[in-house]
Structure 1
Amino acid sequence: MPKLSDRGQRLPYSPYRKLTPYADAAKARGVHVLHLNIGQPDIETPPTMLAAVQQASIRVLEYSPTAGYPSYRHKLAGYYQRIGMPVVAEDILVTTGGSEALLFAFMCCFNPGDEVLIPEPFYGPYLGFAEVTGVRVVPVPSYLDEGFQLPPIEELAARVTERTRAILICNPNNPTGYVYRRDELQQLLQLCQQHDLYLLSDEAYREFCYEAEFVSPLQLPGAAEHVVVLDTISKRYSACGARIGAFVTKNKALYQAVFKFAQLRVSPPGLGQLFAEAAAELPPSYFDHTKAEYRARRDLVLRRLRAMPGVECPTPSGAFYIIARLPVDDSERFAQWLLEEFNHQGKTVMISPAAGFYATPGAGRQEVRLAYVINQDAINAAMNCLAAGLLAYPGRVLQEVGYEGERVGV
């Protein structure tokens, strides 16, 4: 039998999709599965976006330019300018979702064997992008008990080596919901300037900040040669299936390198760009209702979680995720048990074990990521299942389990 590549065998499964076969089996048994595992919003996609595609007069669906349609790039630049980011159309390369923007960044900012510093926990697929490009992820731990705030800059600086090429952040953070402060971003940029590094900023959730102000490092003085913004319309407009993102940089040499990789896939999706162009014309007030709804959902999840004995969680100030520590022996075992062996009044809940958002061995074993992207009635039903499941789970523990599995505390 032909052999698989080493990278194909090493590539990790998605931390939020790996339990899907168990969810499918539960559904086949007639159990209603409530999904808190994945960031797929149920907020309505703006009708004007759908209408732009439905009403388009297209005789031949042609390739678009490699960097994307100029009309869309100009309108997207206008969106960035309205929120204080000094971006022009020539700084933007349209990508097939935020995932392709990330892939381009890993392909063009690193050589095999290079290193990237990432505050941990982090968006799980970063590990996959690093694997396929031969890049080593160097995690810099942040902690639930400290609200997952950025580790002291000295801790990041101590991990810089001659192979370090970039620092990668997600702001607001997936999976923690942490929003980086301006002074933290300035410290990160200064570290990058000092060591001639890139600062890669994944900003998929920038419109969803609650108590904190959003700042992009691209807004800071001295950012032009160092900062890369990785963007997507998926979460911003509840348009995950459009597969439209953006690679944004003022570093012209980097832009040209990315452009050559973009030529390999010829062009980003044409219909998706029509969709996204209509989104770029929406007024800033569009986000008022969406942001208020996510905040209400967040507050509901926090209230319900904190009423469950043994559950701990900080308050996320952005995005639409919560990391919670549960009183269980192993969150992946618990998540699978919820789908295989448990139901509450014909329902169960699918959650994401948090270990898939860590690179440190053993970290996150008691933690889960919950996505509050379903309506409040569904959230309440999911919380009912989670509360009942925690009481019934045979592996429930009162002690905290450390990174290596040792029992600590009382």
Structure 2
Amino acid sequence: MFISRRAKEIQASPIRKLKPLADEARKRGIHIFHLNIGDPDIPTPEPIIRAFHQYNGPILGYGPSQGFEELRQAIADYFAGYGIKLTADNVLITIGGSEAIHFSFSVVADPGDEIIIPEPFYTNYNGYATFADVRIVPLPLKVEDGFRLPPKEQIEALITPRTRAILLCSPNNPTGTVYTEEELQRVVDLVKKHDLFLIGDEVYKEFVYDGLQHKSILEFKEIENRVIVVDSISKRFSCCGARIGAIVTRNEEVYQAVLKFAQARLCPPSVEQYAALTAYRMGLDYFGPIREEYQRRRNVLYEGLTSIPGVFLRKPQGAFYVICRLPVKDSEHFAQWMLTDFSLNNKTVMVAPGPGFYATPGRGQDEVRIAYVLKEEDLVEAIEILRRGLEKYRKLFG
């Protein structure tokens, strides 16, 4: 039986591929603390839930391929709250932020073209690149440096005649790094100089800690026609299952190209768009308490992890993830072992192995990504389980 090259080459998700082992552990009566996936436990706002229940249209028919105009305008108004001027015609609704990234890759690059992405990066970028037959060129970053962007010359050295775009995720998944205006300016200068696109994955922009401010790439006027921003309600409003995202661009040619892809998949889901409309109208004040909650969790996680011998990490500045180095040689094996062979009081933890967040072979072998989307008391318990698991694992495997 023939299976396509594309299907064979697409990478299995390090976030989800260990789920069968987790399911088996659960059948054995083991409780699992899921540190592997960024699925917020903070309740979805009640007005959004009500919007789902209150839909009473007689038919769930097709909607516009670009999404309902009322929602697109609400998103433009939402960005206006950050001082960013947009119109509804700068916004196209997608089936989650994932589709927005897939469409962006497909529009800015031909098969075999290149997109530069700092690594480690959100693992599903690999899948979207495979869909579009685009090559990811990794820009290696280091945990010792806090995953900061390198000097402009180091970034420019990766640009070739086939480079079509640079993608930045800030606040970053999986590192938690928030890029400064100066770091962004380095990339903006290169985008302008080499006639590239700049794709911004900004779905975590509300979650920035310690008084830092998020800077959107939409604010750089000198490249406003070269910018594509990915937006989503998933993490922001605890709506991961609603699958509503958006592409935001002021480039009319890009917008029309994306629209053709959107027409090919017909339309985004209708009821979810009504719920998203409620979400975007909630106002920015909603995020204050949520931001404070995630910052407290970040602090608990950081203090706990840094107390474990051999664990190294930098304090994340935003989103709700951290990449940390463990005192193991094979994080994949360790993550599996925690699910198959270790528990403490019938409890264990599930983490995402590091290699899946890299395009460079061999990188991330001793790293894991941890998502702090659990209550503080659960994080404390999960950290203790991780500590005890590492102690036993090192005795067995060195």
TM-score after normalising by structure 2: 0.98
Q: Which stretches of structure 1, 4 residues or more, deviate above 6 A after TM superposition? A: 395-398
CA distance in 1 between counterparts of 2:144 and 2:395 reads 23
Matches within 5 A, 1:3-402: 3-211=2-210, 212-394=212-394
Specify the SS of the correspondent of 1:100. helix
Asked whether the equivalents of residues 168 and 199 of structure 2 are also in contact (C-alpha less than 8 Å), the reply is yes
Asked whether the equivalents of residues 230 and 245 of structure 2 are also in contact (C-alpha less than 8 Å), the reply is yes
Specify the SS of the correspondent of 1:223. helix
Specify the SS of the correspondent of 2:190. helix
Letter in 1 for 2:164: R
- Residue 86 of structure 1 deviates from its aligned partner by 2.1
CA distance in 1 between counterparts of 2:367 and 2:397 reads 13
Asked whether the equivalents of residues 201 and 228 of structure 1 are also in contact (C-alpha less than 8 Å), the reply is yes
Change beyond 3 A, Cα 1:377–1:193: same
Specify the SS of the correspondent of 2:361. coil
| Aligned alpha-carbon RMSD (Å) | 1.1
CA distance in 2 between counterparts of 1:265 and 1:85 reads 29
Specify the SS of the correspondent of 1:193. helix
CA distance in 1 between counterparts of 2:227 and 2:182 reads 16
Letter in 1 for 2:10: L
More helix by share: 2
CA distance in 2 between counterparts of 1:149 and 1:385 reads 30
Specify the SS of the correspondent of 2:284. coil
CA distance in 2 between counterparts of 1:335 and 1:99 reads 26
CA distance in 2 between counterparts of 1:307 and 1:191 reads 40
- Residue 395 of structure 1 deviates from its aligned partner by 6.6
Unaligned runs of 5+ in 2: none
Asked whether the equivalents of residues 91 and 248 of structure 2 are also in contact (C-alpha less than 8 Å), the reply is yes
- Residue 62 of structure 1 deviates from its aligned partner by 1.4
CA distance in 2 between counterparts of 1:168 and 1:143 reads 18
Specify the SS of the correspondent of 2:276. helix
- Residue 377 of structure 1 deviates from its aligned partner by 1.5
Alignment: residue pair count? 397
% of aligned pairs identical? 47
CA distance in 2 between counterparts of 1:315 and 1:172 reads 13
- Residue 56 of structure 1 deviates from its aligned partner by 2.1
CA distance in 2 between counterparts of 1:181 and 1:98 reads 23
Asked whether the equivalents of residues 55 and 271 of structure 2 are also in contact (C-alpha less than 8 Å), the reply is no
TM-score after normalising by structure 1: 0.95
Specify the SS of the correspondent of 1:18. coil
Specify the SS of the correspondent of 2:155. helix
CA distance in 2 between counterparts of 1:82 and 1:103 reads 27
